[in-house]
A = this chain, B = another copy of it.
Amino acid sequence: MRYLDQEAIEDIAVGAAFLGTGGGGDPYIGKMMALSAIKEFGPVKMVAPEEVADEDFFLPSAMMGAPSVLIEKFPKGDEFVRVFEKLGRYLGVENVAGTFPMEAGGVNSMIPIVVAASLKIPLVDCDGMGRAFPELQMTTFNLGGVSAAPMAITDEKGNIGIMETISNKWTERLARVQTVEMGASSLVSLYPSTGRQLKDHGIHNIVTFSEKIGQVIRSNEADEATKLNNLLELINGTQLFEGKIIDVIRRLEGGFNFGEATIEGLNQDLGSETNVFFQNENLIAEKDGVPMAMTPDLICMVDLETLMPVTTEALKYGKRVRVIALPCDEKWRTEEGIATVGPRYFGYDLDYVPLEEMLAQGGEAHV
């Protein structure tokens, strides 16, 4: 158990945006919301999943929809608490024992901090993805058989709803169409979970891991190479490519930001091109047409010099970036995990090959 101060929050926002693999929201917006909440309500206590009681009851709070929209449709701030409290009341739970993030991301790591500060409840150091994914059923809780519903959904205007569904896929479908109608983004609370379920199905220590990543990225280390090495060592990751963005194609569809970034090589990769395909989150990285890394492994873009994470909505012509990959949590590397978030689910005609294997084979994918 420990308290999160301003420094910790700034580190978490940056580290979570890195693990957000392009999605999960902008860390600057996220950080500002969380800092303003702890300034108003006091610091937030964070507990490890091992520290919570099995029978206690926890609810997450998150943003759903296209991250690009949030920049223009800034939350009023009361939506997170409203949707969280609505679900608690609907479930008839007197005392919700704490909250937790559903995914990594610059905003989605911070919303639970706002809720925890406002309601003076602890934040649990776990999430349901260990990264970010675009759809509601893409969680390790889902793989563990936890229901996403009952789920609450609200918007910044004050509309609010509850859903109970026959499957987590149906929760996604019905929440998605409402999110689109609400203006392509909404605030949600879902996957109501016991302490036991957090222990069994959550990705543990993800907030602390985000914080450590943020510490490295935000460190004063002057030497670029040393800083990069520190980051890669911490995350057990690899730099796939460095270059300059020469094209970004995007479309907002069904409440998602779909797109593709083309990066032209610098220095030793001169003449090479890397393409990163995304749906809110980066899903596939190809070099000269050959897959190098694929979902559910993490594909993160960072600024070439500062290593600050670059979200998909911030991709633009001329930006110089590094493409970094790291292995996903082992929970995703099961048959059901790959069926839920592997390349074929997203429409790519590729069998999943774990990142380590791909690198050992020199980047050749099985098509």
Contact = CB atoms under 8 A, between A and B. Distances in A.
27 contacts: A157-B166, A157-B170, A158-B165, A158-B166, A159-B163, A159-B164, A159-B166, A159-B170, A159-B174, A160-B163, A160-B164, A160-B165, A161-B161, A161-B162, A161-B163, A161-B164, A161-B174, A162-B162, A173-B181, A174-B178, A174-B181, A174-B182, A176-B181, A177-B178, A177-B180, A177-B181, A178-B178
Nearest to A151: B161
Interface of A: 157-166, 170, 173-174, 176-178, 180-182
Contacts of A157: 166, 170
A172 to B, nearest CB: 10
Chain A binding surface SS class:
mixed
A173 B179 CA distance: 11
A105 B159 CA distance: 30
Nearest to A182: B174
Given A159-B163, A159-B166, A160-B164, 20 more contacts: A157-B166, A157-B170, A158-B166, A159-B164, A159-B165, A159-B174, A160-B163, A160-B165, A161-B162, A161-B163, A161-B164, A161-B174, A162-B162, A173-B181, A174-B178, A174-B181, A176-B181, A177-B177, A177-B178, A178-B178
A122 to B, nearest CB: 29
A157 B164 CA distance: 12
The 3 A-B pairs at the shortest CB distance, nearest first, are namely A177-B177, A162-B162, A161-B163
Contacts of A182: 174
Nearest to A157: B166
Nearest to A162: B162
A40 B180 CA distance: 42
A91 to B, nearest CB: 13
Contacts of A163: 159-161
A160 B163 CA distance: 6
A163 to B, nearest CB: 4
Contacts of A159: 163-166, 170, 174
Contacts of A181: 173-174, 176-177
A133 B159 CA distance: 24
Contacts of A178: 174, 177-178
Contacts of A164: 159-161
A161 B173 CA distance: 13
Nearest to A160: B164
Contacts of A176: 181
